[in-house]
Structure 1
Amino acid sequence: MALLTSGINPGQLSEVSTAYAALHSSSLQQSDFPYFHVRNAGNKGLGCFAARQILPGTLVHQEAPLFIVYEIGDEDPSRAIHDEISVEVNNLSVQNRAAYMQLVVPGQVRILRNNFVSQVFNANSFETMEHPDRRTTDQGIFLMAARFNHSCVPNAYFQYNPRIGQLTIFAISRIEKDDEILVNYKYEDIYKSRDERRQNLQRGYHFTCECPACHDGPYHDESERLRSLMAVLDTQDQQRLGNSTERRQRKDRLIALLGTAGCPYPQTAHLYKQLAEDYLGEMNLLGAGYSGNITECRQKAQTAARGKLMVEILAIGPNTEEIDKSLDLIAEAGYHGRFG
């Protein structure tokens, strides 16, 4: 499959190409056969395993939704949503309905026997749109994507791309042949402890995570130390403690720790964005006559914006709104150079 870059401003394509070169990858990756095959993954049921070595930034899978249920509340779906899910499932072809009902591992059958149809949806759906003002989300079923299992230290990242109407899964680290391709179902829990992560996964997906970060051992111990430290730094960052230099240094440290923890997106992209905007704000002050080195500030703003572009290229690909915003941020930092 090829990654489309046709929507990118030709004058900004070099930035995307440079990012791919840094990943030792390409925006025009193609394969004559699938990057993965589905097979038994033990007590996890079925899983997706690499059919070849996969480089970071590779589009492993993309898929249109089988169906989408709109405006689902933050809490457990209401009776009306249960009914809507049932209607959608009943409208499927016999083959697709059977495939939908098989999106569950044997150990979950007893747990899901009440409201089985809607509970299968809850445990296998992917968010396609968020409506923060109404505290609701749209969620869809993707039959193949649902076969990718979870890890708190994933080697791939999933996200629905409204621009192409498909869910994409990109490799975020090198995946060797026969390795299982794993995504993080709860990437927002990156700073939480093992017990908190397991509790949230059990509540939403009805399994106990046994990934390297959760299974007892040296890796788990180091993971807990890293996540505890990141949680402290994130809290300090949210509270904007310290002066501007200290806040920037804290963001830089968090970015480095997220990389060490194997979770480069989306938290890292957000931190890079904040850094770039911080430097842009300082450049405005310098342009208005404040003392300081505007050339150095511009370079740091562009470096941060390019860092954001890099992790987005890695995790969500070039044909996204996020990439457009990163390219505009890079250009804005260069434009501010007129003050220099």
Structure 2
Amino acid sequence: QLSEEALKLWLEEEDSLSHQIDGIINECMQDFPDDDTVDDAAKYAAEIARAVITDKTRGGHLRIAKAYIASHKRKNPDWDPKQVTASTPGDITQFIIQKCGEKAKGYEGKKASSSTFSTAVSTRAALTFWYRSIRPNESVSEWRVDTKTGECFGLPTRSRHVSEFMTGLEKTKAKAGEVSTSARALSLQDMHRLYDHCFRPEATPAEIRWGIVRFTSYLFAWLLLLRFDEVVRLEFESINMIPGSRISEFLEVKLRTRKSAQTGVGHAWILYANDLDPKICPVRALIRLAVVYGETVTLSGPLFMKVNKNDNEHHEPCIDKRLAESRLQIL
């Protein structure tokens, strides 16, 4: 009976805490109002404000901020998430170590064989977003505390304490043998193996057609060091043939925006025909792609489009994840 009553009280406290956190978060997110409650000017301003980071990133930051607030509220119900003091950097590192520390020592981190430093970096970024929201007029590049008044300036995530903690955590994880779990970069050998698979002798005509699109997309990603979502955004207008000593010796490739250049300042790459290693020649790859598309395709819009077994009608951009998944099965 006592256990059931204690559980009921605990659930009520958790529910109340959840409502409190949601209220705090919503109160501090007023710079992103709902579109149906504001006028046209406010809608436009909110749209511009949202462009600072993607909705997916913002959603992830808010989840981490909620977990941060909940963690400290459970320990101290009087803890104020909107109050910034000289001890706030310590609150931040305490939360990070709780999430990234070893389970064997009572923390929530992963086993030593998995990397948790990336989690710490993401957490710091999310808490930077949180404190920027509640302190919009503060400097985003510094942290200092007035020794006389105790007043704090800047963002606590920029403090020396947090910076030294992150450096120490990274070295500690490295000494423990933790390695990144992200996918490794493609090598020249990988590209040769992918080519051999896409153009294997026993492949059917339909498999070769799809293999041409698949290999060309990965070849451009590899040569230009592009993310996969950037490759599938390449358009016919992105490719410019530059005559050299012979026709089509050079290719100029442009991408409107990318992860490292989101403000519209683009960059152009020059790709050369490769006679020494025809398998990774970008000019030959585009010629094969042109043969697959045929003469009926409109030279405008997405460069990589879905292909089928027989016809030459290509209208849908190839924006799904099948290209990436297929590579994992091959390599």
Short-chain TM bin: under 0.3
**Which structure dedicates a bigger proportion of its chain to helix?**
2
Task: Give the structure, 1 or 2, with the largest relative contact order (CA under 8 Å, sep 6 or more).
Answer: 1
Which structure dedicates a bigger proportion of its chain to strand? 1
Query: Who wins on radius of gyration, i.e. which is larger?
Result: 2
